[in-house]
Amino acid sequence: MAETFRAILVTKGQDGGQRAAETHLTEADLMEGEVDVAIEATTVNYKDGLAMTGKSPIVRRFPLIPGIDFAGTVTASSDPRWKAGDAVLANGWGLGETHHGGYAERARVKGDWLVRRPPAFSAMQAAAIGTAGYTAMLCLMKLEKAGVTPGDGPVIVTGAAGGVGSVALAILKANGWHVVASTGRPQEAGYLKDLGADEIVDRAEFSGEGKPLGKERFAAGIDSVGSHTLANVLSQVKAEGAVAACGLAQGMDLPTSVAPFILRGISLLGVNSVYQPQDTREEAWSRLARDLDPAMLASITREIGFEDIISAGADIVEGKVRGRLVARLT
Ligand code: NDP
């Protein structure tokens, strides 16, 4: 009898509705790819929550193993770049969307999708950083490329107590920024300050309809919230400042005007972690190894069991998760 492994599977019912459930699969159930990986750790991002609850059409092929990230060890490879025993991680590339993802003890993927795990990180640490942390670093790299520096003024991080936000606070602080954290959870002020926030602001200040231009407060921003929040941040960025936008926790819309762009010359920098080229991924991961203090990473990470992943998906879309969640698989 073929050996089985644990997995979560999202299936579509006769009524068109989808459901996520734990199951056992065999290697014959895996999709095409040149590299087999024994997954050691995975995580729950906001997007995974959307995928498992079906709140947004993230899963585009059924049945599918969700999970946009994993970290593990190569067990077999027909790609000459990888061999059994290599420590790897993967983020994006359609994992958990169109290709079986990280919520299983085994994966089979294209060699192009894997990143060599920096020696600084265990599988658990790499998964704890996951797409959220790697995206926070992509945002910082975009801001740096745009030429804004800590000397220009403060940076605002929206969705600060979330996964992207928590890592953003820590890496911005490590790079010398004065960090303003916007949160709807004032009870997390101590947590946010320990991570690197110099000031805490109530997200209600940003989440309603605002003016096209406001007082110039910030040199830069990292926004994982979108909608009115991003519009209000844009209206309060200083001349020639820049905002990296990666998320839509408040909404997909962006009710703003051209005023911040044409009257203050600010830049809105889009960040898409899913299809980044390999050299950008490697740069982001080596910057994380340099800038993210392991003690800080531990303080934002909570370990959950494999059996908790589905309920954690529901919690994260309801904004109930603080920092990062990580699950050990083997
Ligand atoms: P989390 O749920 O961990 O964090 C989101 C945070 O946003 C929450 O913790 C909360 O922060 C805040 N928030 C939630 N709902 C609202 C609301 N209605 N109004 C204002 N603020 C709100 O998610 P992640 O950090 O994993 O992801 C954040 C966003 O970034 C998601 O939209 C995700 O899809 C996107 N993303 C995009 C990527 C890309 O490639 N572009 C990659 C990774 C993530 P607080 O409690 O502090 O207010």
**Which atom of ligand 1 approaches the CA of 163 most closely?**
25
Residues 6+ apart with CB under 8 A from 3: 26, 27
Q: What is the mean pLDDT of each run of 10 residues along the chain (330 residues)?
A: 93 90 97 98 97 95 97 98 98 97 98 96 97 97 98 98 96 98 96 97 97 97 98 98 97 97 98 95 97 96 97 96 94
**Residue among 141, 157, 224 to mutate when testing ligand 1 (max atoms within 8 A of CB):** 224
Strands (E) in the chain, as ranges, are: 4-12, 18-26, 35-43, 69-77, 87-91, 106-109, 115-116, 155-157, 179-183, 199-202, 218-223, 237-245, 267-270, 301-304, 324-328
How is domain 4-117+296-328 classified at the architecture level of CATH? Answer: Alpha-Beta Complex (3.90)
**Residue among 43, 45, 95, 232 to mutate when testing ligand 1 (max atoms within 8 A of CB):** 45
Q: Whose CA is nearest to atom 5 of ligand 1?
A: 162
238 phi, psi to nearest 5 deg:
-65, 160
DSSP state of 118: P
Q: Whose CA is nearest to atom 4 of ligand 1?
A: 162
Give me the pLDDT at residue 175, please. 98
Q: Among 270, 141, 148, which Cα is nearest to 219's?
A: 148
Longest dimension (CA), the chain: 69
- How far lies 291's CA from each of 137, 297, 327, in Å? 9, 11, 23
Give me the pLDDT at residue 16, please. 83
What is the C-alpha R_g of the chain?
20
Give me the pLDDT at residue 86, please. 98
Tokens of 99: 């290709």
Give me the pLDDT at residue 284, please. 98
Question: 25 CA distance to ligand 1 centroid (A)?
Answer: 32
Q: Are strands 218-223 and 155-157 parallel, antiparallel or unpaired?
A: parallel
Q: Taken in order 102, 106, 109, 113, is the CA torsion positive or negative? A: positive
Give me the pLDDT at residue 1, please. 72
**Which atom of ligand 1 approaches the CA of 166 most closely?**
25
Q: Where in the chain is the domain with CATH 3.40.50.720?
A: 131-270
Q: Is the CB of 246 under 6 A from ligand 1?
A: yes
Q: Where in the chain is the domain with CATH 3.90.180.10?
A: 4-117+296-328
Give me the pLDDT at residue 13, please. 86
Q: Which residue has the tokens 């790299």?
A: 141
**Cα–Cα dist 117/101, whole Å:** 17
**Which residues are 218's β-sheet partners?**
237
Q: Whose CA is nearest to atom 20 of ligand 1?
A: 250
CATH class of 131-270: alpha beta
Q: Whose CA is nearest to atom 12 of ligand 1?
A: 159
Q: Is the CB of 316 under 6 A from ligand 1?
A: yes
ipTM of the complex: 0.99
Q: Whose CA is nearest to atom 19 of ligand 1?
A: 250
**Which atom of ligand 1 approaches the CA of 249 most closely?**
32
Of all residues in the chain, what percent are helix, strand and coil, respectively (each to 5)?
35, 30, 35
Q: Is the CB of 91 under 6 A from ligand 1?
A: no
Query: CB–CB of 211/233 below 8 Å?
Result: no
Question: 29 CA distance to ligand 1 centroid (A)?
Answer: 32
**Cα–Cα dist 303/291, whole Å:** 22
Give 294-299's long-range contacts (Cβ < 8 A, gap of 24+).
294/120, 294/125, 296/170, 296/195, 296/196, 297/125, 297/128, 297/129, 297/133, 297/170, 299/191, 299/194, 299/195, 299/323
Q: What is the DSSP string of 197-208?
A: -SEEEETHHHHS
